[in-house]
Amino acid sequence: MDYKESFAYCIPFTDDYKKLTDDGYDTYINWTKELITELESADEDDIPPKLYRQFPKILEVARMLIDKNWTGAVETYHSYFGPGYADDWPLDSFGIPNFVADLERYRLRADSVRL
């Protein structure tokens, strides 16, 4: 009888934002750590120069994500790569662009709501 259904997946209430934690991002953070290892061990001769020049920007965003500096990571991502994910992301993977999109959709929205 105490059950109260929430439609947070459709239209979140202010109370739903209060329930947000950073715990759900552990999978993304672990993937980001793997990406950093992969980028740092990459051989410059095996990577197209245009892509290789993007690595410092990608690493900067990735480190912010690991530090859970959500706003900084999103703003930095957009300043380097623009808001469009599919055409502007320099790697085959969409892990970080999807991460940024999820942060904007869920985590960052909480920061903008007065609780």
* 77 class by beta-carbon count within 10 Å (0-12 exposed, 13-18 middle, 19+ buried): buried
Residue 12 pLDDT class (50, 70, 90 cuts): low
Q: What is the pLDDT of residue 89?
A: 65
Q: Where are the domains of the chain?
A: 26-112
Q: Which residues contact 53 (CB under 8 A, 6 or more apart)?
A: none
Give ∠ CA 69-91-44 in degrees, rounded to 5: 100
Residue 113 pLDDT class (50, 70, 90 cuts): very low
Q: What is the pLDDT of residue 69?
A: 93
Question: What pLDDT, in 10s, does the model give residues 102-112?
Answer: 888 777 765 55
Question: What pLDDT, in 10s, does the model give residues 69-94?
Answer: 999 999 999 888 876 655 556 666 67
Q: What is the pLDDT of residue 115?
A: 41
